[in-house]
A and B are shown apart, each in its own frame.
Chain A
Amino acid sequence: MNRGSEPAANGGRGLGSAVDAAFTSLLEESAEDLYENAPCGYLSTLMDGTIAKVNGTLLGWLGRERDEVVGRMSFSDLLTVGGKLYHETHFAPLLHMRGEVNGIALEIRAADGTRMPVLVTSVVKNGDGGEPLLIRTTLTDARDRRSYEAELLRARRAAEEARRQAEADRVRLQSALAVLQQSLLPDTLPDVPGLVTATHYHTASPDRLGGDFYDLFPLGEDRWAFFLGDVSGKGPEAASLTSLARYTLRTAAAYTADPAAVLATLNTALHDRYTSGEPRYCTAVFGVLQPDGDGFDVRVASGGHPPAVITRADGGAEFLDTPGGMLVGILPDAPFVGAHNRLEPGDSLLLYTDGLTEARVGADRGLFGEEALRAFAAEHAGGGPDGIVAALVELLSGFGDGLNDDTALLCLGVPATPDAAAEGKRT
């Protein structure tokens, strides 16, 4: 093998010698020693379970001498109470039926009462005539495995608990958000005699609190106020601004029926509240409806909001222009521009937020735009508020991910016939 004169081989000689020695000792290892000191417990029993032969490893685990076990104890005597029960009801019957049982987890009980988890495999040895002679059993130490499994189980329980807690938190938060969101929008709108109303609210994401708002409420005996708007930003800060805007508008309307003056009050409130840092503002249309003959007189003012659309009984549609209205809350003395119009039977007034007109549509991802909305509303003018809003809801759902902002719709219409007015009041 190695030559001493070759320095390069010198290092190899020592290693070679160690390997040689290991091989020699392996070859010299007796079957008896392998049996006695194997890294698992060996056990041979008669068919009735009486222990006939046991190795040193198992005796060591049990803390017992050979002569107190062999011929005196049966396999089930080595087991815990639960183990005995399982042995009698499952293990032994299965073994007799199949001739072998593999890897069953049991616990053995040592002389001092300590327990030790083991995996048990048993095989029946048959005689030449096929008659069962004895049972050979190996027991593998499962303590490390057991603690590993226990750790896995503990970790899984902890993970499940954390997941359950997170889910509970999510549900709680979601319902809190839903309640808050509801406080920003009216549950139902009041019945206005001779007027049909339809609304829709789309939140771009269920976790984003809305930044759009609308309302319709009585102003004294025979007038009605309505508004629709959109606050800057998204999420909780937008929601708090929405709340401030909504209640300021309702309060201001109690003092004046001039739409531009109501928006001016809101402007002052927002500007005072948010003077520095992040710009906080809203766009809004505020209006007052007064019954007039068989229709309604409508006065609106706009602050930075895209123009409302009026659809006519004859199938046309036009913008209710309010050019020059400023965003609400940016400048201390912002100008707001009013407009005046009339809704005849069959006419509808559509208010919307820019989530609709700023939706990105088509292959070029261009804005949907006000003009496309006007044309769309004209097509559905005959359906009245319910028909127009239903058609827009369908349109919005077709926008898919092109619709990435909240969208609010409020449509107020005078029914074409008095019958339809009665119909409208019930909805």
Chain B
Amino acid sequence: MNSLSVAVEDAPTGPVVQVMGDLDYDSADVFRAAVGGLAVPPGALLVIDLAGLTFCDSSGITAFLAAWNHARASGGDAALAAVPPSTARILHIVGVDRILQVYPDATVAAQAASRGA
């Protein structure tokens, strides 16, 4: 088991949340607390950078959807970046890759967001 850590950076296009470690039932609250406190202005993109993600179960999927709800509540949006293959497979099964935009990495996500804006 790899304990979860979450780091937040501010990009011009909106907050970038780096998720490192295992995102599961026991650790999902850490991620949700970090994201729940973020300001996502109207038009901004909350990027969830999963390059350091080592495990993700359905609690993690729920947490991504909660982040998406949080961003949309203030007029923003959320996207996933650098999704590991095992998580991408689960996202595809549950259809979440059609709710949240998925980008190869956080930089590309930010570029896409600035083009959109």
Q: What residues of chain A have their CB less than 8 Å away from a CB belonging to chain B?
A: 230, 232-234, 276-279, 281, 283, 303-307, 323-327, 330-331, 334-335, 354, 358, 360, 365-367, 404-405
SS class of chain B's interface: helix, strand, loop or mixed? helix
Contacts of A233 on B, CB cut-off 8 Å? 59, 62
Contacts of A230 on B, CB cut-off 8 Å? 58
Among candidates B1, B25, B99, residue contacting A365 with C-beta atoms closer than 8 Å: B1
B32 to chain A, nearest CB (A): 9
Could you tell me the distance between the alpha carbons of A360 and B59 in the complex, rounded to whole angstroms?
A: 15
The chain A residue sitting closest to B54, CB to CB, is A365
Contact call B95/A232, Cβ cutoff below 8 A: no
Could you tell me the distance between the alpha carbons of A303 and B69 in the complex, rounded to whole angstroms?
A: 20
Could you tell me the distance between the alpha carbons of A240 and B73 in the complex, rounded to whole angstroms?
A: 25
Contacts of A306 on B, CB cut-off 8 Å? 93
B73 to chain A, nearest CB (A): 8
Contact call B94/A232, Cβ cutoff below 8 A: no
Contacts of B25 on A, CB cut-off 8 Å? 234, 404-405
B83 to chain A, nearest CB (A): 15
Contact call A279/B95, Cβ cutoff below 8 A: no
Could you tell me the distance between the alpha carbons of A233 and B86 in the complex, rounded to whole angstroms?
A: 21
With A234-B25, A324-B95, A327-B94 in contact, do A279 and B69 touch (Cβ < 8 Å)? yes
With A232-B58, A330-B65, A358-B57 in contact, do A305 and B93 touch (Cβ < 8 Å)? yes
Among candidates A327, A358, A404, residue contacting B95 with C-beta atoms closer than 8 Å: A327
B42 to chain A, nearest CB (A): 18
Contact call A330/B93, Cβ cutoff below 8 A: no
Contacts of A335 on B, CB cut-off 8 Å? 95
Contact call A304/B65, Cβ cutoff below 8 A: no
B27 to chain A, nearest CB (A): 12
Contacts of B57 on A, CB cut-off 8 Å? 354, 358, 405
A145 to chain B, nearest CB (A): 50
Q: What residues of chain B have their CB less than 8 Å away from a CB belonging to chain A?
A: 1, 24-25, 55, 57-59, 62, 65-66, 69, 73, 86, 90, 92-96, 98-99
B9 to chain A, nearest CB (A): 25
The 10 closest A-B pairs by CB, nearest first: A326-B95, A304-B94, A279-B65, A232-B62, A327-B94, A304-B95, A358-B57, A279-B66, A306-B93, A279-B62
Could you tell me the distance between the alpha carbons of A304 and B61 in the complex, rounded to whole angstroms?
A: 11
SS class of chain A's interface: helix, strand, loop or mixed? loop
Among candidates B55, B59, B73, B98, residue contacting A326 with C-beta atoms closer than 8 Å: B98
22 A-B residue contacts at CB 8 Å? A234-B25, A278-B66, A279-B62, A279-B65, A279-B66, A281-B65, A283-B94, A303-B95, A304-B94, A307-B93, A326-B95, A326-B99, A327-B96, A327-B99, A330-B65, A334-B95, A335-B95, A354-B57, A358-B57, A367-B86, A404-B24, A405-B57
Contact call A405/B99, Cβ cutoff below 8 A: no
A208 to chain B, nearest CB (A): 10
Could you tell me the distance between the alpha carbons of A285 and B98 in the complex, rounded to whole angstroms?
A: 19
B111 to chain A, nearest CB (A): 27
**With A281-B65, A304-B96, A323-B92 already in contact, 9 other A-B pairs whose C-beta atoms are closer than 8 Å:** A232-B58, A276-B73, A279-B62, A279-B65, A279-B69, A304-B94, A307-B93, A354-B57, A354-B58
Contacts of A232 on B, CB cut-off 8 Å? 58, 62
Contacts of A358 on B, CB cut-off 8 Å? 57-58, 90
Could you tell me the distance between the alpha carbons of A72 and B86 in the complex, rounded to whole angstroms?
A: 98
Contacts of B93 on A, CB cut-off 8 Å? 304-307
Contacts of B90 on A, CB cut-off 8 Å? 354, 358
A338 to chain B, nearest CB (A): 15
Contacts of A283 on B, CB cut-off 8 Å? 94
Contacts of A404 on B, CB cut-off 8 Å? 24-25
The chain A residue sitting closest to B28, CB to CB, is A233
The chain B residue sitting closest to A327, CB to CB, is B94
Could you tell me the distance between the alpha carbons of A277 and B70 in the complex, rounded to whole angstroms?
A: 8
A321 to chain B, nearest CB (A): 11
Contact call A325/B66, Cβ cutoff below 8 A: no
Contacts of B62 on A, CB cut-off 8 Å? 232-233, 279, 281
The chain B residue sitting closest to A322, CB to CB, is B93
Could you tell me the distance between the alpha carbons of A279 and B25 in the complex, rounded to whole angstroms?
A: 14
